[in-house]
Amino acid sequence: MKIVDLSYLKRHFKDIKEAYTVREIIEEAKSVFFQKILANVKILPVETKYIKEVIKKAKEVGVLDYLSRADIKLCALAYKYRDIAIMFTNDLYIQNLCYFLGVKFEGDQKIEYAKIFRYVCPKCGVISERPICPKCGSIADRKVVKALKI
């Protein structure tokens, strides 16, 4: 079961025989591309419970602010069908999240490390999930706090 995001679709639509995505990805594509690239792509619904689980995991991994609503929903679709789905994407943050969701992924380039990100305050060193330090209000730097070789 091939699940595709827009970056992958843009590059490979001629080779795609059958793939699946979510409505938001199709809507993004319509504004940029011709209808023909969507010919072999079907829309599937995703229940809210899967979206919530993906948002929770994206927060844990520290990538939520790097993903669009469409990205989250697409990851939820892949998560729903994780036993049979493979996510095809060139977005490295989506690949990173798929690793932690237990979803197989492919792309023209693949990440070598799965990373967990946090914000670290340059003034007081507090580590948090938010870009503004909860202790002193400074703008925090995004850092990799854990990297796992894939």
Q: Which residues bind Zn ion (CB under 5 A)?
A: 121, 123-124, 126, 133, 135-136, 138
3-state secondary structure of 88: strand
Smallest separation, CB 62 to Zn ion (Å): 17
* The one-letter amino acid at 145: V
Instruction: Compute the distance between CA of residue 82 and CA of residue 47 in angstroms, rounded to an integer.
Output: 14
Q: What are phi and psi of 50, to 5 degrees?
A: -70, -40
Q: Which residue's CB is nearer to Zn ion, number 40 or number 128? A: 128
Any residues with CB less than 8 A from the CB of 131 and at least 6 apart, and which?
A: 65, 119, 139, 140, 142
Smallest separation, CB 136 to Zn ion (Å): 3
3-state secondary structure of 102: coil
Nearest CA-CA partner of 29 in 45, 11, 54, 44: 11
Smallest separation, CB 119 to Zn ion (Å): 10
Q: Which residue's CB is nearer to Zn ion, number 11 or number 143? A: 143
Q: Which residue's CB is nearer to Zn ion, number 97 or number 133? A: 133
Smallest separation, CB 87 to Zn ion (Å): 36
Q: Which residue's CB is nearer to Zn ion, number 80 or number 118? A: 118
Smallest separation, CB 126 to Zn ion (Å): 5
Nearest CA-CA partner of 101 in 48, 37, 35, 55: 55
- What count of other Cβ atoms lies within 10 Å of the Cβ of residue 91? 21
Q: Which residue's CB is nearer to Zn ion, number 1 or number 126? A: 126
